[in-house]
């Protein structure tokens, strides 16, 4: 399937690509968007127009991310790298091995579900810890 058609071509000047983007999206692209992003965005919009857009779940997740960003534009800066569900973190502390499973709704440790790694680290050590630092996912003093 030729999804780009007349909207996208390696032969198009960047100005024409920007005009095509504007026709499809109904607004001007940001001045710093480059060729590759314009092409990918046009490709997505054409797929969407042909019935191959986001699933309901994907759109819901995207809406939530947008809402989070509108509440706090730095929300994604503060993330320390997404941990995918199914990931297992192992930490040896005072000679004892501790294993944490990342789940869709938090972190499972010692048969309990926790909302944060910090709470787990606090329970293991009896002291206040940044859970990401405790489990070696972030260096001390890194932001």
For 32-64, write each residue's pLDDT tens digit. 889 999 999 999 999 999 999 888 988 998 998
For 12, 35, 135, the CA distances from 32, given in Å and listed in that order, are 18, 10, 38
How far is the first Cα of the chain from the last one, in angstroms, to the nearest whole number? Answer: 45
- Whether residues 41 and 12 share a domain: the answer is yes
- Whether residues 30 and 19 share a domain: the answer is yes
Domain span including residue 39: 5-53
Residue 141 inside a domain? The answer is: no
Residue 106 inside a domain? The answer is: yes
Residues forming beta bridges with residue 114, ordered by sequence position = 107
Residue 21 inside a domain? The answer is: yes
- Whether residues 69 and 100 share a domain: the answer is no
- pLDDT-above-70 percentage for the chain: 85
- Whether residues 92 and 127 share a domain: the answer is yes
Give the per-residue pLDDT at 1: 41
- Whether residues 12 and 46 share a domain: the answer is yes
pTM above 0.85, yes or no: no
Residue 139 inside a domain? The answer is: no
Q: How many domains does the chain have?
A: 3
Instruction: Determine the Cα angle at 62 with ends 58 and 63, to 5°.
Output: 115
- 3 neighbors 39 (Cβ within 8 angstroms): no
Give the per-residue pLDDT at 53: 87
Give the per-residue pLDDT at 77: 62
Residue 143 inside a domain? The answer is: no
Question: Which spans in the chain are helix H?
Answer: 14-25, 35-49, 56-71, 117-125, 131-134
- Whether residues 59 and 40 share a domain: the answer is no
- Whether residues 65 and 95 share a domain: the answer is no
Give the per-residue pLDDT at 80: 44
- Whether residues 103 and 126 share a domain: the answer is yes
- Whether residues 26 and 63 share a domain: the answer is no
């Amino acid at each position: 399937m030729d999804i780009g058609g007349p909207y996208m071509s390696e032969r198009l000047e960047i100005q024409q690509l920007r005009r095509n983007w504007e026709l499809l999206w109904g607004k001007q692209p940001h001045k710093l968007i480059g060729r590759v992003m314009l092409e990918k965005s046009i490709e997505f919009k054409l797929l969407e127009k042909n019935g191959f857009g986001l699933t309901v779940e994907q759109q819901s997740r995207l809406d939530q991310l947008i809402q989070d960003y509108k509440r706090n534009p730095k929300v994604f800066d503060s993330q320390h790298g997404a941990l995918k569900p199914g990931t297992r973190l192992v930490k040896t502390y005072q000679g004892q091995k501790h294993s944490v499973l990342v789940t869709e709704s938090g972190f499972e440790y010692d048969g309990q579900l926790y909302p944060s790694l910090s709470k787990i680290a606090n329970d293991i050590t009896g002291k206040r810890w940044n859970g990401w630092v405790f489990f070696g996912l972030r260096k001390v003093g890194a932001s």
